[in-house]
Homo-oligomer: A and B are copies of this chain.
Amino acid sequence: MRTSAEYFERLAKMRPNIYLEGEKIGRDHPTILKGGKTLAKTFDLVNDPKYERVLTATSHYNGEKINRFNHLHQNAEDLLLKQEMNRVLSSLVGGCIQRCMGIDALNALSVTTKNADMKYGTNYHERFNKFMQYFQAEDLVGCAAQTDSKGDRRLRPSQQPDPDAYLHVVERREDGVVVRGAKLHNTAAQYADEIIAFPTRAIGKDEPDYAIAFAIPADTEGIYLLTRVAAPPERIPELHVPYSDFIDTESFTVFDNVFVPNERIFINGETEFGSETALLFALFHRHGYCGCKPGLGDMLTGLAALVADYNGVEKVGHVKDKLADIMSVGELVYAAGIAASVKSMQSPAGTYIPNIMYANVGRRHAGVNIYHEMNIIADLAGGIPITLPQTKEYANPEISEFLLKYNTRRAGVSPLDHYKAMMFASDVMASEMTGLITLAGVHGGGSPQMEDIAILASGNIEEKKNIAKHLAGIEY
C-alpha cells in the first residue's frame, strides 16, 4: 500500500488538465494539495491500529493485504466493513471521504463484465481483472464519472439535439474508441489516478454508442477537469477550526474526443449491460451512503448536542426530542445498510451485491432528511452561525476581547471554546459547505426520486395487492 507522500508524488507528475478559477493548473497547486488531504487520510490511517481493521482487506486475487477502498466484496462481511469504514472515516473528516466512488464503480463492472461475457462470449471480465489487479497493486485512486450533462430531461440520449449530451462513442478504431461528452459532479477527479466512466441511465437497444464503460488515466489527452471548490473560510492560526482542512472539489469533466484503448474498455455497445452497470454502481454507492451518511450524521448530531450543551439547554425537553430525532436519522440509515449487507447475494463473478430494497430505503431516508437535520441544528444554534464575525476581527486587539466576552454562554466552557464551537457551526450551517452538505445529501448516490423507482421495482407491489385482495375477499 502506498503512503500519502507516494500518492501525491504520482499526482504531481500528471499532465496539467485541471481548470480552476479560469487557470490551467497542475496537481501540485495548493488548492489541489489541500483538497487531497481528505483522501490522503485513506493512505495515512491504513497502519493505524484504530482503523486498520476496517481500512484494509485481503485481495481475492492474490491474498495480499490491500486498501479496502480497492477491494471487491467477496462476502456479506466485506459489505458490512465497507459501511463501517465509510462511517468512521466520514465522521473523522466531517463529510465525504471521497475515495469510495471508484471502487463502487469497479465492483459494478466486476459483475457486469462477467454477465456480458456469459451472454455474448466477450472477454471483458478478463480485461477487467487485469486492470483490477494493476489497480490494487499500484494502490490507485479512482473517480467515478457517471452523470451526463443530459440536456433535455424528456428526451433519450439518442434523441437529444446535441448528441454529446450523453457521453458516447464518436469513432471506432481497431485499437479502441474515441468518446465525446461530459460527466458532471465528479468528486475528487482532480486527485484521482484513474477515471472510471460508464452510463448514467438505461440505454436503449438502438443506441449502442451510449453503452460504453471504461477506465482511463485522469490526465489523458482530451480530458478537461473544470473545477468547483467548496471550502470553509480560512481563519487565523489561533482560531483554526480543523473542519476547514477538509475541502471538496468537484469536476465538470469534459471528454473532448478522448481515445480509449481496447484493454481499458469494459462494456462497448452491449446496451443491457451498460444499463446494468449504471444500476449496479448506484446500488453499491447507495449501500456505501448507508455508511457515510451516518458518519456525517454523527458529526451533525455532535454539533447539535455541542451547541445545545454550550447554550446550557442540552437537558431541556424539546432539545432532547430533537437530539433523538437527528440521531435516529443516521442510525436508521445505518441499520438499512446492515440489512442490505446481510441480505446481499453473490453474482456469477463472485462479487457480493447488496440487497436492492434495503440499500435504497436507507439512502432515500438520508436524502429526504438532510434538510430536516440542518433545520434541527438551526433550531438549536440560533442565528449566531450566520452573524458571528469571522476570524480576522479576533486579530484586532481593539475588539478581540469583545468577541470572546459576548460569545460566552455557560460557565465551565472557555470563551475560546465557545467561539470555536460557533465558528464550526458557522462553517456547517452558513458557509459554502452548507450547500455541499445539503445538495450532496439529497442527490449524492441518486436522488430520492431515483430510489423511489428502485423501491417500486423491487418491492413486488402485486404481491402486496394480493394481500389486500385476500383480506377483501377478491380472487387473485
Contact = CB atoms under 8 A, between A and B. Distances in A.
Grouping DSSP codes into helix (H, G, I), strand (E, B) and loop, the A interface class, with mixed when no group exceeds half, is helix
A48 interface: no
A436 B383 CA distance: 9
Interface string A457-476: 00101011111111111100
B420 A472 contact: yes
B465 A398 contact: no
Given A410-B151, A447-B382, A389 B432 contact: no
Contacts of A440: 383, 386
A321 B452 contact: yes
B424 A468 contact: yes
A198 interface: no
B471 A252 contact: no
A307 to B, nearest CB: 9
B250 A327 contact: no
A394 B410 CA distance: 49
Contacts of A327: 455-456, 459, 461, 464
A64 interface: no
A328 B361 contact: yes
Q: Which of A184, A321, A383 has the most CB of B within 10 A?
A: A383
A331 B393 contact: no
Given A185-B383, A439-B386, A19 B410 contact: no
A165 B338 CA distance: 42
Please state the number of chain copies in the assembly.
4
A55 B319 CA distance: 42
B318 A449 contact: yes
Interface in A396-438: 396, 398-399, 402-403, 405-411, 417, 420-421, 423-424, 426, 429-432, 434-436, 438
A452 B402 contact: no
Interface residues of A, number: 147
Interface string A293-310: 000001101110110010
A364 B438 contact: no
A250 B387 contact: yes
Q: Which of A303, A372, A438 has the most CB of B within 10 A?
A: A438
B302 A331 contact: no
B151 A242 contact: no
Contacts of A106: none
A8 interface: no
A384 B470 CA distance: 20
Interface of A: 19, 21-24, 91-92, 94, 147, 149-155, 161-162, 164-165, 181-182, 184-185, 224, 226-228, 230, 240-243, 250-252, 254, 256, 298-299, 301-303, 305-306, 309, 311-313, 316-318, 320-321, 323-325, 327-328, 331-332, 334-336, 338-340, 342-343, 357-358, 361-362, 364-365, 371-372, 374-375, 378-379, 382-390, 392-396, 398-399, 402-403, 405-411, 417, 420-421, 423-424, 426, 429-432, 434-436, 438-440, 442-444, 447-449, 451-453, 455-456, 459, 461, 463-474
23 contacts: A22-B394, A92-B467, A149-B407, A152-B411, A164-B405, A184-B406, A230-B430, A240-B473, A299-B471, A302-B461, A305-B461, A305-B468, A317-B318, A320-B456, A323-B456, A327-B464, A328-B361, A335-B338, A335-B339, A335-B340, A336-B336, A339-B342, A378-B442
Among all A-B residue pairs, the 6 with the closest Cβ atoms: A430-B435, A317-B317, A302-B468, A22-B392, A324-B452, A424-B472
